[in-house]
Amino acid sequence: MSIFLDCIQKKKINRPPIWLMRQAGRYLSEYRETRKQAGSFLDLCYNSDLATEVTLQPIEKFGFDAAILFADILLILDALGVKVEFIEGVGPKIEPVRKLEDINNLLNVENIHEKLGPVYKTITMLKSSLPKNVPLIGFAGAPWTLSTYLINGRGEAGSITTKKFLLSNPAEFEKIINILTEATIEYLLMQIKHGADVIKIFDSWAGALNADMVLNYSLKPIKRIVETIKEKYPNIPFIVFPRAVNTTYSYFSNIKEFDVLAIDQFLDRDWVAREIQPKKIIQGNLDPIFLTLEKDVLLMELKKVINSFKKHPFIFNLGHGITPDAKVDNVKSMVEYIKEIDFR
């Protein structure tokens, strides 16, 4: 019924399923229009009608094989009681939380569902409006990535502030990671309860960690989240995206509860085909820059991705989110190309 779920469940498929990270976003004029109507980015995330509308836009326009809930990984910080803003043209801005006192007073796991109610409602609405063969991906940020925003207040190259914090304030850091892990479990359980078919966990800043830290602060909390949720929902597939963790991807491929590993554009594809694909279904890894270039340049790269990964089933996607300057015609050509593949 769904080529995306068939791929994850290792059933036979004749072409890779395709969807794109940030497929609902600023490269689409329809999105920019709805976004204007909503007011701020957060208003859009919490408006179930409009969030449903923007989730559906790329499905209707391109025929992707999966939809991803329109929301943001930082909503959970907002729901925990932290001040979160999205500054036009700059990005997220969070009031940093670092002191034990603030951690204890500010972060309140029990109350998150009240604020996140509209997100659950969006999921319900999407489940009744999506075509039956298009599953819905729910998602959350990994505790490490959320902690970088919580502790530093914004994204930072190398996450230096948060790394220094974790090494200098281990008790506070551990408390923060535990709260974020608990809150994420609660949040994802509710997304599944409302109808999310697959869950993706984004650890976008995992690449800032050294290898030991990747295991302790990226892999370990993600594993706890997935294991806890699978006790209740053993059949919900998880896509895990530890971005830019280099060869420590191997450790992620050894975790049986992770169903799919999303692969960034920095990894050597031959290494992935050799070391990771025999153990895990992968998703990725076209560099999003190719969607901003000429069609023939894009198609050349696209063929390289397919040739590298085609010995095993894989989900076609980008190595990171699509950028606002991506060309809509390129996305169309790419989906057409993928849908015409026939491995038989």
Which of 75-83, 85-93, 223-231, 293-301 is the region at the interface with ligand CP3 (rule: CB under 6 A)?
85-93
Comparing C-alpha atoms, which of 309, 209, 287, 289 is closest to residue 249?
Answer: 209
Site for ligand CP3 in 207-266 (CB under 6 A): none
**Could you confirm whether 35 is annotated as catalytic?**
yes
Catalytic choice (27, 31, 149, 217): 149
Catalytic choice (26, 102, 233, 287): 26
Which of 68-76, 181-189, 274-282, 290-298 is the region at the interface with ligand CP3 (rule: CB under 6 A)?
68-76
In sequence order, which ranges of the chain are alpha helices (DSSP H)? Answer: 3-8, 29-38, 41-45, 48-62, 75-80, 100-106, 112-129, 143-152, 160-168, 170-193, 211-213, 220-232, 249-253, 269-271, 295-309, 328-340
Token digits of residue 213? 């830290």
Neighbours of 320 (CB within 10 A): 22
Minimum separation from the CB atom of position 73 to ligand CP3 (A): 4
Nearer to ligand CP3, 155 or 169 (CB): 155
Which one among 3, 7, 22, 285 touches ligand CP3, defined by CB under 6 A? 22
Which one among 39, 87, 91, 160 touches ligand CP3, defined by CB under 6 A? 91
Token digits of residue 197? 């078919």
Q: Is 70 a binder of ligand CP3 (CB under 6 A)?
A: yes
As a whole number of angstroms, the longest Cα–Cα distance in the chain is 61
Q: Is 118 a binder of ligand CP3 (CB under 6 A)?
A: no
CA angle 232, 234, 240 (to 5 degrees): 105
Which one among 21, 80, 183, 219 touches ligand CP3, defined by CB under 6 A? 21
**314-318, strands of its sheet edge to edge:** 67-68, 136-141, 198-203, 238-242, 260-262, 281-286, 314-318
Q: Is 35 a binder of ligand CP3 (CB under 6 A)?
A: yes
Buried b (16+ CB within 10 A) or exposed e, 92-108: bebebbbeeeebeebbe
Minimum separation from the CB atom of position 71 to ligand CP3 (A): 6
Q: Is 202 a binder of ligand CP3 (CB under 6 A)?
A: yes
Nearer to ligand CP3, 74 or 306 (CB): 74
Which one among 113, 155, 216, 287 touches ligand CP3, defined by CB under 6 A? 155
Within 8 A by CB and 6+ apart from 324, the residues are 25, 26, 27
**Could you confirm whether 149 is annotated as catalytic?**
yes
Nearer to ligand CP3, 262 or 273 (CB): 262
Query: Do the Cβ atoms of 109 and 180 come closer than 8 Å?
Result: no
Catalytic choice (22, 98, 243, 269): 22
Q: Which residue is nearest to ligand CP3 (CB)?
A: 204
Which one among 6, 26, 113, 215 touches ligand CP3, defined by CB under 6 A? 26
CA distances from 109 to 81, 126, 305 (A): 9, 26, 41
Q: Which residues bind ligand CP3 (CB under 6 A)?
A: 21-26, 35, 41, 68, 70-74, 86, 91-92, 139, 155, 202, 204, 321
Catalytic residues: 22, 26, 35, 72, 149
